[in-house]
Chains A and B, each alone.
Chain A
Amino acid sequence: MSLSTQQGDDEDNNILVAKVDNARNISNILKAIHFRDTATVFASSNGLKVTVEESKCVQANAFIQAGVFQEYAIRQDSATFKVNLTVLLECLTIFGSSSAPGMNTALKMCYAGYGSPLQLLLEEGGVLTDCSIKTMEPDEMLDFGFSSANVENKVIMKSECLREAWSELDMTSDVLQILMSPDKPYFRLSTFGYAGSIHADYPKDSDMVESFQCEQTQTNRYKLSLLKPSVKALSLSCKISIRTDHRGFLSLQYMVRNEDGQVSFVEYYCCPDEDVEE
């Protein structure tokens, strides 16, 4: 970490300044995509998009819109940098992770452009913490080429019904198979582990399913180890949208409501396992 002592209040150097009254609104969302150490931050006038990738097969994005911040100012069109997400989260939660209602950690985030560290100023109850996190050259992000036009099947359901099933997925199975069909069983999650096969069926007329659009039956398998981390996003979210396109690529989108009722989105993309059964 750089030992810069610059307080970051020097507006002239910072191309990005963002302030929020409750750092948990940021840290909770980032935890939902924290399955690797490093993340790429893409800041634009819309807000922040933080991306984490794994094995060139799965990508998770967290969108924190400008509206979530009490103050958000960016000088350039956009800025991109890579940062250690583990360290960033530790700094954001430096005052502890307990969510006592009265005590909020205020955050001010500053970035002075290419080569500068990401500066965080956190305050809680009169105690100040100043963090300076080194930024790195951003990697090229995968483009899954997932477009709404190619979506074949889409289901939107409430997260609570999936939460328990997802967290208890049989990890002895290599794959998670997702079947979406206009006929029974409509939506089925399956694993094939040592104990045998386990299926969870969610019919389209269940009151947990808000929207169900399936043109044709699709069965796709994805590496369970890659998808399992999405359980964090699932537990934070209130709604999930599951979409697959004509290639079998999977898009999971989670709607997350933070403590102040603001909505942010987290998204996971995953490519299917080699031997796809259609």
Chain B
Amino acid sequence: MKCIIPGTNIKVFGKAIHSLSKIGEELYLEPLEHGLALRTVNAARSAYGCFIFAPEFFYHYDDSSGGTEGEMEDVEETFKCKIQMKSVLAVFRSLSTLERTVDRCKITLDEGPRLVFQLYCKHSITKTYNLTFQECETLQAVFSKDLCPNAITAQAKLLTEVVQNFQLSLEEITLIVSPEKVILKNYVESEPDPSKVLHTQMSLAAEEFDYFQIGVDTELTFCLKELRAILAFAEAAGMPLSLHFETSGKPIVFSLEGDPAFDANFVMATLADLGSTQGSQSSQQQAINRPGTSMAGTSKTKRTVKKTQQQGSKRNESDIMENRRFQANRQPNRSCAGGNSFLPMDSGFDDMMNDGMDDVIAMGANEMEAAMSQETEQQRNGTSRHEASPERSASPEIPLELGKRPRTHYPDEKPTSHDQSHDDVSMVMEEEGEEEEVLVPGTPPSKRFRSMFFGISSQSQATQAPAETADTAEVLCEDTDDED
């Protein structure tokens, strides 16, 4: 793989990395035919960011895909790796200096094995960064912007000004839309004494937006911190930002498509509808901070299984994620901290289309996990980093299945209302209603769901073991290990 970025584009590239660094700890790099993909996901798997830089962005772009004359080394797959954000930030630390002094940046893969970033600066000075990386599987969130009934496009400046009105410490923000206007307010989780909490609310009329189409009135809550990171990039790039969303519980997609040379998409989980899951939700949040909290208690479970379509594009398959609505149980890390960690993601997208960046997706705590699980699954490089490993122990998540996993990986699966329409997906969700009694704050929730992260499970069975509680009354899917 070899890419050369011209000096004029280095700042954008660096800014993209800065904004991804505010979301996740690791940067996933994958050179694809249609561009270089930089992706990340946060530890709680509730926020995902992806930048794809088209070949036009570079002076020279060579992804060494099998198919070019003579390049037969990576016949089966392209090079995919992940590097620590800290390492790559060291390369692009001071953007203003980069802009001033760097003529071009070359990214190559060295036998080392090292990912080499070379900055050719003014005065013939060269800076070389030989970074260690880990091979991994593709990180891919599947989502479909086209299917969202609600779409808004706004100038980044407008949204930045709006967001500035909220306290810096605010974790989550609520967006309420109707065909005439949009209201943004700070999210207050449980209702303490209303007079003690600062409420901020802003209304924007439909006319303020470049594009405003609301199909479904909705109210959704998502993490503000990641939004700030997205807006920082959008404003610096001077591009309009599009929001695609449906209802609470389903992910919201922010995309930047104004520039022909690159695309950016950010998918964020939203808090599930408070109405039906109110009770469980608050207690759930207590449990959330603890490793291994299960996500019990989603009142409506919806199992939708998605299958990614192979489109010849090298990236999708592994990451089909299943959509389901369930409460998060990841240890909140970067996203909405403080206890409300995970936002259940519900996705109603049954469609799977991959065209370009639109993939069907379900994102949720577990989904990304499954994607991540692919890494170990393949055992390419061995060290899979489990950022959100804690919950492996007791996680009831049902991970998503992806693409080509042989059925045999799910030996004891006992799906209840499982949409078996796609063979390669295995997912199970529990029936709601039963959870409620389990959610006692401070105690591990009942283990209804066993983690089915194979790749991960093969490595983390040990960690999973201790967390299994005795409450296995309704195990729908058994672990692949034999703890019980």
Contact = CB atoms under 8 A, between A and B. Distances in A.
A binds B: yes
B123 A196 contact: no
Given A168-B93, A168-B94, A195-B87, A208 B125 contact: yes
Contacts of B409: none
Nearest to A163: B97
Interface string A44-65: 0000000000000000000000
B176 interface: no
B481 to A, nearest CB: 33
Given A168-B94, A195-B131, A200 B126 contact: yes
A161 B127 contact: no
Contacts of A199: 126-128, 130
A208 B84 contact: no
Contacts of B126: 185, 199-201, 203
A133 B476 CA distance: 78
Interface in B82-113: 84, 86-87, 90, 93-94, 97, 101
A147 interface: no
B129 interface: yes
A200 B129 CA distance: 9
B131 A203 contact: no
B144 to A, nearest CB: 37
A207 interface: yes
A246 to B, nearest CB: 28
Contacts of A202: 124-125
User: By DSSP majority rule, is chain A's interface helix, strand, loop, or mixed?
Assistant: loop
Nearest to B84: A195
Contacts of A198: 90, 127-130
Given A168-B94, A195-B90, A196-B87, A201 B125 contact: yes
Contacts of B90: 168, 170, 195, 198
Contacts of B127: 165, 198-201
B132 interface: yes
User: By DSSP majority rule, is chain B's interface helix, strand, loop, or mixed?
Assistant: mixed
B125 A196 contact: no
Contacts of A161: 123, 125
A200 B123 CA distance: 12
Contacts of B94: 164, 168
Interface in A188-227: 194-203, 205-208
Nearest to A198: B129
Nearest to B97: A164
B385 interface: no
Given A164-B97, A195-B131, A200 B125 contact: yes
Given A168-B90, A168-B93, A195-B87, A206 B125 contact: yes
A196 B97 contact: no
A230 to B, nearest CB: 19
Contacts of A164: 94, 97, 101
Contacts of A185: 126
A195 B123 contact: no
A161 to B, nearest CB: 6
Contacts of A201: 125-128
Contact of B132 (A195, A206, A208): A195
B127 to A, nearest CB: 5
B99 to A, nearest CB: 12
B114 interface: yes
B92 to A, nearest CB: 11
Interface in A146-197: 161, 164-165, 168, 170, 185, 194-197
Contact of B124 (A168, A195, A206): A206
A196 B130 contact: yes
Interface core residue of B87, B97, B125, B126 (most chain A CB under 10 Å): B125
Contacts of B128: 198-201
B138 to A, nearest CB: 23
Contacts of B84: 195
A263 B386 CA distance: 56
A206 B97 CA distance: 18
B269 to A, nearest CB: 30
Interface string A76-87: 000000000000
Interface string B156-199: 00000000000000000000000000000000000000000000
A203 B122 CA distance: 11
Contacts of A205: 124
A219 to B, nearest CB: 16
Interface core residue of B84, B130, B131 (most chain A CB under 10 Å): B130
A185 B128 CA distance: 12
Contacts of B87: 194-196
Interface in B130-149: 130-132
A84 B5 CA distance: 51
B97 A197 contact: no
Nearest to A201: B126
A205 B123 CA distance: 9
A118 to B, nearest CB: 40
Nearest to A199: B128
Contacts of B124: 202-203, 205-207
A91 to B, nearest CB: 34
Contacts of A203: 124-126
Interface string B70-84: 000000000000001
Contacts of A194: 87
A2 B45 CA distance: 63
Interface in A210-262: none
B123 A207 contact: yes
Nearest to B133: A196
A206 to B, nearest CB: 4
Nearest to B132: A196
A196 B131 contact: yes
A194 B86 CA distance: 10
Contact of B130 (A197, A200, A207): A197
A197 B127 CA distance: 11
18 contacts: A161-B123, A164-B101, A168-B90, A170-B90, A194-B87, A195-B90, A195-B129, A196-B87, A196-B129, A196-B130, A196-B132, A197-B130, A198-B127, A199-B128, A200-B127, A200-B128, A202-B125, A208-B125
Nearest 6 CB-CB pairings of A with B: A195-B87, A206-B124, A196-B131, A201-B126, A199-B128, A208-B123
Given A199-B126, A203-B126, 6 more contacts: A164-B97, A197-B130, A198-B129, A200-B127, A203-B124, A206-B124
Interface of A: 161, 164-165, 168, 170, 185, 194-203, 205-208
